[in-house]
Every structure is written in C-alpha cells, then in structure tokens.
Amino acid sequence: MSGYTQRVRDSILPRSVAGTLPAAFAEWTFTENTIDHEATIEICELCGQQDLRYHFEIANRYTKATLWVGSHCILQFGVAVLEDGRQLSSDEARRRLAKLTQQMQLQGCVKALERLAAAEANPILTGALDYYRRNKKLTPKYAAVVFWKLQSFGIDHHPSFFQVELRRAQHIEDLRQMPTGRVHRFWGALSPAQRRKAIELGHRPPARRSTA
Ligand SMILES: [Zn+2]
C-alpha cells in the first residue's frame, strides 16, 4: 500500500523492529482497550487526525510500545484485530470496531441519564435510566421528558446515540397522541424509518434550524 504519510512512518517505525512499511504494521495488534473522551478533542497518534472522540489502543508485540489511534487507522493499515486468538478478516474487524464504538455510545447515553437522574429527584428520570439500562432504548414518553431535561440541565449528550423503542402498539399510540412539539424534542434520536413513521402518524419534521 502506498499512501503512508511521513507522520505515519514517524509514528510507527521508531516503535517497531522492522524498518519498513508495511512489515512494521504486522507487529501491531489492537489491545481491546478503548477510551471514550466524551468530546471530539483527541488526536490519532498514528496519522495525526484530529477531533476524535474514541481512542483505540494498539501495541507492538516486540517493543511493547503502544499508541492511541482512531479505528480508521486500524482498518486502513490492517492492524491485527483478534477474537479468541484468531485474527479477524478486514470485514470482521470493521464490524468488531463498529460494535465497540456502539458500546461506548451506549455507555455515554447511560452516563448522561445517570447525571440527569442525579440532577433532579424525579421518578420519571430514574425510571428512564432503569429502562435504558435494561432495554438499551427509551420509550417515546421517556424520550420526550429526557431530552427536554437533558437540555434544560445543560447535560452534554448526542441525541443520535440514543435509541427509541417504537415496536409495540402502545409506543406507536403514545407517539401518535403526543403534541408535535414534544416529538421534536427527540427527533434527533429517531431513525429515518421512525421519522417516516412519525410523519405517517401526523407529525411534521422540525423546521431546519439556520446555522447562522
Ligand atoms: Zn489515524
């Protein structure tokens, strides 16, 4: 593979036994350690990409050197991703890293809900936290309260990381009867299919906010 930048060479070669690429990359493995920095503030120690939220650790099996990188670099440079000692194919590795990212996003949502439940003594908020821990989803009714309160308490969160439950007839009925303004509070947490469903139930999408 061509396309190794000087930055990548400078990061990897001094920490490897092999003196050339791609041989040096064959010495590296994803360690399974990840960090959610909770904001896009980090840098990939391999390629220098900025604005990373999630870090994945890779280690050299000979030099024991480690680097915190973005998942993109693990995939791009074919750093080994193992499962039960077996090296995953590139497709499997992509799915594995996506799954780990999803787990970190889920944990981020649980953390935001924990902060919220601590900010206000409110049985709806503790109920929502409990429900999310068990189901990894919020009901439409919980979502309407949770997103309103997350905003009013200024608790950092990503609506799109949350999942809303919309399978049961009761949840669909709750969504139908909800005032549209309330549905807009959690519009960002709805999947495209769920948004279509909401429109079908008589809601309109929120007006596009001007970025100015
Ligand atoms: Zn990178």
Same domain, 124 and 82: no
Q: Pairing state of beta strands 82-83 and 54-60?
A: unpaired
For ligand 1, a single-atom ion, the residues with CB < 5 A are 44, 46-47, 49, 70, 73
From the CA of 47, how far away is ligand 1's center (Å)?
4
Q: Specify whether the CB–CB gap between 94 and 72 falls below 8 A.
A: no
pLDDT band at 3 (very low <50, low <70, confident <90, very high): low
Same domain, 68 and 124: no
Q: What is the pLDDT of residue 124?
A: 97
From the CA of 44, how far away is ligand 1's center (Å)?
5
- Asked if residue 212 is part of any domain, the answer here is no
From the CA of 84, how far away is ligand 1's center (Å)?
25
**How many domains in the chain?**
2
**pLDDT of 209 over the 70 cut:** no
pTM of this structure: 0.81
Residue of 157, 140, 148, 127 lying closest to 36 (CA atoms): 157
Burial 30-66, CB ≥16 within 10 A → b, else e: beeebeeebeeebebbbbeeeebbbbbbbbbeeeebe
- Asked if residue 32 is part of any domain, the answer here is yes
Q: What is the pLDDT of residue 212?
A: 40
Domain of 194 in residue numbering reads as 105-200
Quick check: helix, strand or coil at residue 186?
coil
From the CA of 112, how far away is ligand 1's center (Å)?
28
- Asked if residue 21 is part of any domain, the answer here is yes
Q: Is 144 exposed, middle or buried, given 0-12, 13-18 or 19+ CB atoms closer than 10 A? A: buried
From the CA of 46, how far away is ligand 1's center (Å)?
5
From the CA of 158, how far away is ligand 1's center (Å)?
23
For residue 60, list its beta bridge partners. Answer: 28
